[in-house]
Chain A
Amino acid sequence: SQKIEQNSEALNIQEGKTATLTCNYTNYSPAYLQWYRQDPGRGPVFLLLIRENEKEKRKERLKVTFDTTLKQSLFHITASQPADSATYLCVSYSSASKIIFGSGTRLSIRP
């Protein structure tokens, strides 16, 4: 079955370091991937979209990569800040019009 997996363990990072989150997909080839941020008690908020023919996308301190060989997307936050603490969701869209959400990785940035 089509699956998208994110590291379910929380990631704890020292402020100022780069946080790297991983999203792996199996048994399908998404046309694009999206990353969302979700704070407790709130709905997800869109951050970035990367298409299958794009290797890398940047937005301010955020960077996303898409490796179709490894079937993986990496999400980086550089110069991390405590305000970046949240759960980050990877979402894929396949040609079968299927939207699949990962379960998310909780990121904590300590001062």
Chain B
Amino acid sequence: NAGVTQTPKFQVLKTGQSMTLQCAQDMNHNSMYWYRQDPGMGLRLIYYSASEGTTDKGEVPNGYNVSRLNKREFSLRLESAAPSQTSVYFCASSFRTDNTEAFFGQGTRLTVV
């Protein structure tokens, strides 16, 4: 099993460019999440999808949009990238939003110049 697969692994963007980070899971999980991780800070939740067809804002949603394309896939879009969005992005999935372990992808290292 692949688990949680994120693409791309690395990306450099210019300020103002747009891009979509892709995430897919093959564990038949209901819930999926996007986090960002910055040095010295914990992972911060950007958006999550408790189940197929629903999405909700997390702690730091500004500047991002998401799409739960189907049960397997959850994408994160940066419409107009800013240097403050330079970070490592992690996608995760779990059977449901509470009381279950989350499985994480390997991360996308994004640099906005």
The residues of A with any CB-CB pair to B shorter than 8 Å are 4, 8, 31-32, 34, 41-46, 49, 51, 89, 93, 97, 99-104
Rounded to whole angstroms, the CA-CA distance of A103 and B107 in the bound complex is 17
Give the secondary structure class of B's interface.
loop
Rounded to whole angstroms, the CA-CA distance of A99 and B33 in the bound complex is 11
The residues of B with any CB-CB pair to A shorter than 8 Å are 4, 33, 35, 40-45, 58, 90, 92, 97-99, 101-107
Inter-chain contacts of A93 with B (CB < 8 A): 98-99
Rounded to whole angstroms, the CA-CA distance of A46 and B41 in the bound complex is 19
Inter-chain contacts of A100 with B (CB < 8 A): 42
Closest partner residue, chain B, to A42 (CB atom): B106
Inter-chain contacts of B102 with A (CB < 8 A): 34, 44, 46
Asked if residues B90 and A43 are in contact (CB atoms below 8 Å), the reply is: yes
Asked if residues B107 and A43 are in contact (CB atoms below 8 Å), the reply is: yes
Closest partner residue, chain B, to A46 (CB atom): B101
Known contacts A43-B90, A43-B107; decide if A101 and B43 are in contact (CB<8 Å). Answer: yes
11 contacts across the A-B interface (CB closer than 8 A)? A4-B42, A34-B101, A34-B102, A43-B92, A43-B107, A44-B104, A51-B99, A97-B97, A100-B42, A101-B42, A103-B42
